[in-house]
Homo-oligomer: A and B are copies of this chain.
Protein backbone atom coordinates (compact mmCIF):
# COMPACT_ATOMS: atom_id res chain seq x y z
CA UNK A 1 0.00 0.00 0.00
CA UNK A 2 2.52 2.55 1.20
CA UNK A 3 4.91 1.95 -1.66
CA UNK A 4 7.91 0.51 0.17
CA UNK A 5 7.53 -3.00 -1.22
CA UNK A 6 8.34 -4.17 -4.72
CA UNK A 7 7.30 -7.53 -6.16
CA UNK A 8 4.62 -10.14 -5.63
CA UNK A 9 6.41 -13.42 -4.89
CA UNK A 10 10.05 -12.31 -4.90
CA UNK A 11 9.58 -9.17 -2.80
CA UNK A 12 11.84 -6.38 -1.67
CA UNK A 13 10.75 -4.28 1.33
CA UNK A 14 13.01 -1.28 1.95
CA UNK A 15 13.42 1.27 4.70
CA UNK A 16 15.69 4.09 5.69
CA UNK A 17 16.23 7.82 5.56
CA UNK A 18 19.42 9.33 4.20
CA UNK A 19 20.62 10.48 7.62
CA UNK A 20 18.87 7.96 9.83
CA UNK A 21 20.69 5.07 11.48
CA UNK A 22 20.63 2.72 8.53
CA UNK A 23 19.31 1.92 5.08
CA UNK A 24 18.17 -1.63 4.57
CA UNK A 25 15.53 -4.04 3.52
CA UNK A 26 14.11 -7.51 3.48
CA UNK A 27 14.09 -9.87 0.52
CA UNK A 28 11.10 -12.12 1.06
CA UNK A 29 10.12 -15.01 -1.18
CA UNK A 30 13.58 -15.94 -2.41
CA UNK A 31 13.51 -19.71 -2.93
CA UNK A 32 15.42 -21.86 -0.45
CA UNK A 33 18.65 -23.42 -1.62
CA UNK A 34 20.26 -20.47 -3.42
CA UNK A 35 23.98 -19.93 -2.77
CA UNK A 36 24.24 -16.34 -1.56
CA UNK A 37 27.46 -15.06 -3.08
CA UNK A 38 28.29 -12.26 -0.62
CA UNK A 39 31.27 -11.09 -2.64
CA UNK A 40 29.12 -10.51 -5.71
CA UNK A 41 26.55 -8.56 -3.72
CA UNK A 42 29.24 -6.35 -2.18
CA UNK A 43 30.70 -5.84 -5.68
CA UNK A 44 27.33 -4.66 -6.95
CA UNK A 45 27.10 -2.21 -4.04
CA UNK A 46 30.54 -0.91 -4.90
CA UNK A 47 29.39 -0.25 -8.48
CA UNK A 48 26.68 2.01 -7.11
CA UNK A 49 29.03 3.81 -4.74
CA UNK A 50 30.29 7.31 -5.28
CA UNK A 51 33.87 7.00 -6.41
CA UNK A 52 36.55 9.49 -7.33
CA UNK A 53 35.70 9.79 -11.01
CA UNK A 54 35.51 13.07 -12.85
CA UNK A 55 31.72 13.23 -12.55
CA UNK A 56 31.36 12.42 -8.86
CA UNK A 57 31.50 14.29 -5.60
CA UNK A 58 34.32 13.75 -3.09
CA UNK A 59 31.89 12.11 -0.66
CA UNK A 60 32.83 8.71 0.69
CA UNK A 61 30.21 6.20 1.73
CA UNK A 62 31.68 3.00 3.13
CA UNK A 63 28.48 0.93 2.58
CA UNK A 64 29.25 -2.09 4.71
CA UNK A 65 26.56 -4.65 4.19
CA UNK A 66 25.34 -6.89 7.01
CA UNK A 67 22.91 -9.76 6.56
CA UNK A 68 20.72 -10.39 9.60
CA UNK A 69 18.64 -13.42 8.68
CA UNK A 70 17.50 -15.88 6.05
CA UNK A 71 20.89 -17.40 5.26
CA UNK A 72 22.43 -20.45 6.92
CA UNK A 73 25.91 -21.65 6.04
CA UNK A 74 25.82 -19.47 2.92
CA UNK A 75 22.56 -20.91 1.57
CA UNK A 76 19.15 -19.22 1.56
CA UNK A 77 16.65 -20.78 3.98
CA UNK A 78 13.48 -19.67 2.19
CA UNK A 79 12.86 -17.29 5.10
CA UNK A 80 13.17 -13.47 4.88
CA UNK A 81 16.66 -12.18 4.11
CA UNK A 82 17.12 -8.95 6.08
CA UNK A 83 20.09 -6.65 5.52
CA UNK A 84 21.29 -3.25 6.66
CA UNK A 85 23.93 -0.73 5.68
CA UNK A 86 24.60 1.80 8.40
CA UNK A 87 24.68 5.48 7.49
CA UNK A 88 28.04 7.05 8.30
CA UNK A 89 29.85 10.26 7.49
CA UNK A 90 26.77 12.28 8.34
CA UNK A 91 26.76 15.98 8.85
CA UNK A 92 23.17 16.76 9.74
CA UNK A 93 24.25 20.34 10.50
CA UNK A 94 24.94 20.66 6.76
CA UNK A 95 21.20 20.51 6.26
CA UNK A 96 19.99 22.82 9.02
CA UNK A 97 19.61 25.68 6.49
CA UNK A 98 17.25 23.49 4.42
CA UNK A 99 14.88 22.90 7.31
CA UNK A 100 12.43 25.54 6.20
CA UNK A 101 13.10 25.87 2.50
CA UNK A 102 11.97 23.75 -0.43
CA UNK A 103 14.70 22.97 -2.96
CA UNK A 104 13.30 23.34 -6.52
CA UNK A 105 12.40 20.07 -8.25
CA UNK A 106 13.24 18.08 -5.12
CA UNK A 107 10.71 16.18 -3.03
CA UNK A 108 10.92 18.61 -0.09
CA UNK A 109 7.62 20.34 -0.76
CA UNK A 110 5.71 17.26 -1.82
CA UNK A 111 6.76 15.12 1.18
CA UNK A 112 5.70 17.87 3.54
CA UNK A 113 2.36 18.21 1.77
CA UNK A 114 1.83 14.47 1.92
CA UNK A 115 2.87 13.68 5.49
CA UNK A 116 2.70 17.01 7.30
CA UNK A 117 6.26 16.31 8.50
CA UNK A 118 9.62 15.78 6.76
CA UNK A 119 13.13 14.68 7.64
CA UNK A 120 14.97 17.52 5.94
CA UNK A 121 18.43 16.01 6.45
CA UNK A 122 19.74 15.08 3.01
CA UNK A 123 16.31 14.51 1.58
CA UNK A 124 15.36 11.89 4.17
CA UNK A 125 13.48 9.03 2.57
CA UNK A 126 13.49 10.76 -0.84
CA UNK A 127 17.28 10.64 -1.06
CA UNK A 128 18.93 8.52 -3.74
CA UNK A 129 20.75 6.83 -0.87
CA UNK A 130 17.62 4.67 -0.59
CA UNK A 131 18.77 2.84 -3.73
CA UNK A 132 21.41 1.00 -1.68
CA UNK A 133 18.63 -1.40 -0.69
CA UNK A 134 17.54 -1.80 -4.32
CA UNK A 135 21.04 -2.79 -5.35
CA UNK A 136 21.29 -5.43 -2.61
CA UNK A 137 17.87 -6.79 -3.56
CA UNK A 138 18.76 -6.64 -7.24
CA UNK A 139 22.01 -8.51 -6.67
CA UNK A 140 20.16 -11.36 -5.00
CA UNK A 141 17.64 -11.36 -7.85
CA UNK A 142 20.55 -11.57 -10.30
CA UNK A 143 21.90 -14.61 -8.45
CA UNK A 144 18.51 -16.29 -8.84
CA UNK A 145 18.31 -15.33 -12.52
CA UNK A 146 21.82 -16.66 -13.17
CA UNK A 147 20.44 -20.12 -12.42
CA UNK A 148 18.31 -19.51 -15.53
CA UNK A 149 21.28 -18.12 -17.55
CA UNK A 150 19.80 -14.64 -17.68
CA UNK A 151 22.15 -11.69 -18.16
CA UNK A 152 21.24 -8.04 -17.55
CA UNK A 153 23.39 -5.35 -19.14
CA UNK A 154 22.78 -1.62 -18.65
CA UNK A 155 24.93 1.23 -19.92
CA UNK A 156 24.85 4.97 -20.57
CA UNK A 157 23.73 5.53 -24.14
CA UNK A 158 23.26 9.30 -24.08
CA UNK A 159 24.75 12.08 -21.95
CA UNK A 160 23.03 15.42 -22.35
CA UNK A 161 22.83 15.67 -26.16
CA UNK A 162 25.68 13.26 -26.87
CA UNK A 163 24.54 9.89 -28.28
CA UNK A 164 26.87 6.95 -27.75
CA UNK A 165 26.67 4.29 -30.45
CA UNK A 166 26.56 0.61 -29.64
CA UNK A 167 25.78 -2.76 -31.17
CA UNK A 168 23.39 -4.69 -28.95
CA UNK A 169 25.05 -7.96 -29.96
CA UNK A 170 28.56 -6.88 -29.02
CA UNK A 171 28.26 -5.14 -25.67
CA UNK A 172 29.65 -6.77 -22.56
CA UNK A 173 29.85 -5.94 -18.86
CA UNK A 174 33.65 -5.88 -19.01
CA UNK A 175 33.66 -3.25 -21.75
CA UNK A 176 31.06 -1.09 -19.94
CA UNK A 177 32.82 -1.31 -16.58
CA UNK A 178 36.08 -0.20 -18.20
CA UNK A 179 34.56 2.99 -19.54
CA UNK A 180 34.78 5.90 -17.05
CA UNK A 181 31.14 6.84 -17.76
CA UNK A 182 29.80 3.28 -18.16
CA UNK A 183 29.30 3.99 -21.86
CA UNK A 184 29.40 1.05 -24.27
CA UNK A 185 32.25 2.58 -26.32
CA UNK A 186 34.97 5.18 -26.02
CA UNK A 187 34.28 7.16 -29.19
CA UNK A 188 32.57 10.04 -27.35
CA UNK A 189 34.72 10.09 -24.19
CA UNK A 190 36.34 13.43 -25.03
CA UNK A 191 33.04 15.17 -25.78
CA UNK A 192 31.60 13.82 -22.54
CA UNK A 193 34.56 15.04 -20.51
CA UNK A 194 34.15 18.49 -22.01
CA UNK A 195 30.49 18.78 -21.12
CA UNK A 196 31.12 17.53 -17.57
CA UNK A 197 33.91 20.06 -17.08
CA UNK A 198 31.65 22.82 -18.31
CA UNK A 199 28.86 21.79 -15.93
CA UNK A 200 31.27 21.59 -13.00
CA UNK A 201 32.63 25.01 -13.77
CA UNK A 202 29.21 26.62 -13.86
CA UNK A 203 27.86 24.69 -10.84
CA UNK A 204 25.41 22.90 -13.08
CA UNK A 205 24.35 19.30 -13.66
CA UNK A 206 23.50 17.02 -16.59
CA UNK A 207 21.23 14.10 -17.39
CA UNK A 208 21.03 11.41 -20.04
CA UNK A 209 19.71 8.03 -21.09
CA UNK A 210 20.50 4.55 -19.82
CA UNK A 211 19.80 1.58 -22.06
CA UNK A 212 19.26 -1.86 -20.61
CA UNK A 213 19.42 -5.14 -22.52
CA UNK A 214 18.38 -8.48 -21.03
CA UNK A 215 19.54 -11.68 -22.70
CA UNK A 216 18.15 -15.22 -22.48
CA UNK A 217 14.71 -14.50 -21.01
CA UNK A 218 12.59 -17.41 -22.22
CA UNK A 219 9.32 -16.78 -24.06
CA UNK A 220 6.36 -16.75 -21.69
CA UNK A 221 7.16 -14.37 -18.83
CA UNK A 222 4.82 -11.47 -17.97
CA UNK A 223 1.26 -11.38 -16.62
CA UNK A 224 -1.33 -9.69 -18.84
CA UNK A 225 -3.48 -7.78 -18.87
CA UNK A 226 -2.38 -5.30 -16.20
CA UNK A 227 0.97 -6.78 -15.26
CA UNK A 228 2.39 -6.97 -18.73
CA UNK A 229 6.14 -7.46 -18.56
CA UNK A 230 6.75 -3.98 -20.01
CA UNK A 231 4.22 -2.42 -17.59
CA UNK A 232 5.94 -3.86 -14.52
CA UNK A 233 9.40 -3.02 -15.87
CA UNK A 234 8.26 0.57 -16.47
CA UNK A 235 6.83 0.71 -12.95
CA UNK A 236 10.21 -0.47 -11.63
CA UNK A 237 12.19 2.01 -13.71
CA UNK A 238 10.00 5.04 -13.01
CA UNK A 239 10.35 4.28 -9.30
CA UNK A 240 14.00 5.39 -9.59
CA UNK A 241 14.55 9.05 -8.72
CA UNK A 242 14.93 11.41 -11.69
CA UNK A 243 13.49 9.07 -14.33
CA UNK A 244 11.21 11.01 -16.72
CA UNK A 245 10.76 8.58 -19.62
CA UNK A 246 10.86 4.89 -20.46
CA UNK A 247 10.54 3.17 -23.81
CA UNK A 248 10.80 -0.39 -25.09
CA UNK A 249 12.39 -1.43 -28.39
CA UNK A 250 11.92 1.42 -30.84
CA UNK A 251 9.76 3.30 -28.34
CA UNK A 252 8.71 6.79 -29.36
CA UNK A 253 10.50 6.26 -32.69
CA UNK A 254 8.16 3.46 -33.77
CA UNK A 255 5.21 5.83 -34.09
CA UNK A 256 6.74 7.28 -37.28
CA UNK A 257 6.69 3.91 -39.05
CA UNK A 258 3.91 2.14 -40.91
CA UNK A 259 2.65 -1.08 -39.30
CA UNK A 260 4.24 -3.15 -42.06
CA UNK A 261 7.60 -1.59 -41.21
CA UNK A 262 7.17 -1.93 -37.45
CA UNK A 263 6.20 -5.59 -37.17
CA UNK A 264 8.77 -8.20 -36.18
CA UNK A 265 8.47 -10.95 -38.75
CA UNK A 266 9.17 -14.50 -37.62
CA UNK A 267 10.97 -17.41 -39.23
CA UNK A 268 12.07 -20.92 -38.43
CA UNK A 269 15.70 -21.96 -38.69
CA UNK A 270 17.12 -25.17 -37.33
CA UNK A 271 13.69 -25.92 -35.89
CA UNK A 272 13.90 -22.76 -33.73
CA UNK A 273 11.44 -19.90 -33.99
CA UNK A 274 13.25 -16.58 -34.45
CA UNK A 275 12.54 -12.95 -35.25
CA UNK A 276 13.95 -10.97 -38.18
CA UNK A 277 13.92 -7.73 -36.18
CA UNK A 278 13.35 -6.62 -32.59
CA UNK A 279 11.33 -3.40 -32.87
CA UNK A 280 9.15 -4.70 -30.02
CA UNK A 281 12.08 -4.92 -27.62
CA UNK A 282 11.47 -8.58 -26.83
CA UNK A 283 7.92 -8.26 -25.53
CA UNK A 284 4.63 -8.89 -27.37
CA UNK A 285 1.22 -8.66 -25.74
CA UNK A 286 3.02 -8.03 -22.45
CA UNK A 287 4.83 -11.39 -22.53
CA UNK A 288 8.49 -12.04 -23.36
CA UNK A 289 9.01 -13.55 -26.82
CA UNK A 290 12.49 -14.95 -26.27
CA UNK A 291 14.27 -12.06 -27.99
CA UNK A 292 16.53 -9.57 -26.15
CA UNK A 293 14.49 -7.26 -23.93
CA UNK A 294 15.59 -3.70 -24.71
CA UNK A 295 14.56 -0.56 -22.85
CA UNK A 296 15.69 3.05 -22.64
CA UNK A 297 15.40 5.20 -19.52
CA UNK A 298 15.59 9.02 -19.48
CA UNK A 299 17.17 10.62 -16.41
CA UNK A 300 16.69 14.34 -15.86
CA UNK A 301 19.75 16.36 -14.74
CA UNK A 302 20.35 16.27 -10.97
CA UNK A 303 18.18 18.91 -9.27
CA UNK A 304 20.89 20.02 -6.81
CA UNK A 305 22.62 22.80 -8.74
CA UNK A 306 25.06 25.27 -7.20
CA UNK A 307 23.56 28.15 -9.16
CA UNK A 308 21.22 30.51 -7.39
CA UNK A 309 17.53 29.62 -7.82
CA UNK A 310 14.20 31.07 -6.80
CA UNK A 311 12.08 29.10 -4.41
CA UNK A 312 9.87 29.39 -1.33
CA UNK A 313 10.12 28.73 2.39
CA UNK A 314 7.73 26.66 4.47
CA UNK A 315 6.52 30.01 5.83
CA UNK A 316 5.44 30.86 2.28
CA UNK A 317 8.09 33.49 1.64
CA UNK A 318 9.92 33.98 -1.64
CA UNK A 319 13.60 33.13 -1.11
CA UNK A 320 16.67 32.18 -3.17
CA UNK A 321 18.79 29.10 -2.70
CA UNK A 322 22.12 27.66 -3.82
CA UNK A 323 22.36 23.96 -3.09
CA UNK A 324 25.88 23.50 -1.76
CA UNK A 325 27.33 20.28 -0.47
CA UNK A 326 28.85 17.21 -2.00
CA UNK A 327 26.79 16.51 -5.11
CA UNK A 328 27.58 14.69 -8.31
CA UNK A 329 27.46 16.44 -11.69
CA UNK A 330 25.55 13.52 -13.12
CA UNK A 331 23.99 10.39 -11.69
CA UNK A 332 24.09 8.27 -14.84
CA UNK A 333 27.07 5.93 -14.27
CA UNK A 334 25.98 5.24 -10.69
CA UNK A 335 22.41 4.66 -11.89
CA UNK A 336 23.53 1.82 -14.19
CA UNK A 337 23.54 -0.83 -11.42
CA UNK A 338 20.30 0.63 -10.05
CA UNK A 339 18.56 0.18 -13.41
CA UNK A 340 19.93 -3.36 -13.62
CA UNK A 341 18.72 -4.06 -10.08
CA UNK A 342 15.17 -2.94 -10.73
CA UNK A 343 15.05 -5.00 -13.93
CA UNK A 344 16.44 -8.01 -12.04
CA UNK A 345 13.79 -7.67 -9.33
CA UNK A 346 11.03 -7.69 -11.95
CA UNK A 347 12.41 -10.69 -13.78
CA UNK A 348 13.06 -12.75 -10.62
CA UNK A 349 9.44 -12.18 -9.68
CA UNK A 350 8.11 -13.00 -13.15
CA UNK A 351 10.22 -16.16 -13.16
CA UNK A 352 8.63 -17.42 -9.96
CA UNK A 353 5.13 -16.40 -11.06
CA UNK A 354 5.66 -18.28 -14.33
CA UNK A 355 6.02 -21.49 -12.32
CA UNK A 356 2.30 -21.30 -11.56
CA UNK A 357 0.96 -20.62 -15.09
CA UNK A 358 0.37 -24.17 -16.21
CA UNK A 359 -1.05 -27.30 -14.63
Q: How far is the CA of A305 from the CA of B280 in the complex (A)?
A: 16
**Can you report 26 residue pairs joining A to B where beta carbons are below 8 Å apart?**
A1-B1, A2-B80, A2-B353, A4-B226, A14-B225, A15-B28, A15-B79, A16-B68, A16-B82, A32-B358, A68-B84, A75-B117, A105-B262, A110-B288, A113-B220, A114-B357, A160-B258, A199-B259, A209-B255, A241-B285, A246-B247, A257-B300, A259-B304, A263-B305, A267-B310, A279-B300
Which residues of chain B are near A1, meaning CB under 8 Å?
A: 1, 8-9, 11, 28-29, 223, 353, 356
A329 (CB) vs chain B CBs: closest residue: B259
A15 to B30, CA, bound (A): 13
Assuming A2-B353, A33-B115, A204-B259, what are 10 further A-B pairs, CB within 8 angstroms?
A2-B9, A4-B225, A21-B68, A104-B266, A160-B255, A232-B235, A235-B238, A244-B252, A250-B300, A263-B305
User: For the complex, is A154 an interface residue (Cβ under 8 Å from B)?
Assistant: no
Please, how many angstroms separate the alpha-carbon atoms of A354 and B69 in the complex? Answer: 21
Let me know if A299 is at the binding interface, CB within 8 A: yes
Known: A109-B289, A266-B102. A239 touches B244 (CB 8 A): no
Given contacts A105-B280, A264-B104, A300-B254, contact A286 B124 (CB under 8 A): no
Q: Which listed segment binds B: A43-51, A53-61, A166-174, A268-276?
A: A268-276
A158 proximity list for chain B (CB < 8 A): 255
Instruction: Kindly list chain B residues whose C-beta atoms are within 8 Å of the C-beta of A70.
Output: 15, 17, 20
Chain B residues contacting A33 (CB-CB under 8 Å) are: 115-117, 358-359
CA distance in complex: A65, B228 (Å): 26
Shortest A290–chain B CB gap in Å is 8
Q: In the bound complex, do residue A105 and residue B225 qualify as a contact, i.e. CB atoms below 8 Å apart?
A: no
Known pairs A4-B79, A77-B117, A104-B266; A356 contacts B356 (CB<8 A)? yes
A161 within 8 A of B: yes
Known: A111-B285, A234-B234. A79 touches B24 (CB 8 A): no
Chain B positions within 8 Å of A233 at CB level: 238
A302 within 8 A of B: yes
C-alpha gap A14/B227 in the complex (Å): 12
A80→B14 contact, CB < 8 A: yes
Q: In the complex, which residues of chain B have a beta carbon less than 8 angstroms from the beta carbon of A126? A: 224-225, 285-286
Q: Is A287 an interface residue when CB atoms closer than 8 A count as contact?
A: yes
Digitize A90-124: 1 where CB-to-B-CB distance is under 8 Å, 0 elsewhere.
00000000000010111101110111111100001
Are B34 and A309 in contact, with the CB atoms below 8 A?
A: no
Q: Which residue from B254, B301, B357 sits with its C-beta under 8 Å from A207?
A: B254
Report A190-220 CB contacts with B as 1/0, cut-off 8 Å: 0000000001001111111100000000111
Is the C-beta of A89 less than 8 angstroms from some C-beta in chain B? no
Question: Which B-chain residue is minimally distant from A17 (CB atoms)?
Answer: B69
Contact partners of A4 in chain B: CB under 8 A? 26, 28, 79-80, 225-226
Q: Does A180 count as interface, using CB distance less than 8 angstroms?
A: no
Tell me whether A260 is interfacial, beta carbon within 8 Å: yes
Give chain B residues whose Cβ lies under 8 Å from the Cβ of A39: none
Among B67, B72, B268, which residue has its beta carbon within 8 angstroms of that of A117? B72
Once bound together, how far apart are the Cα atoms of A284 and B145, in whole Å? Answer: 32
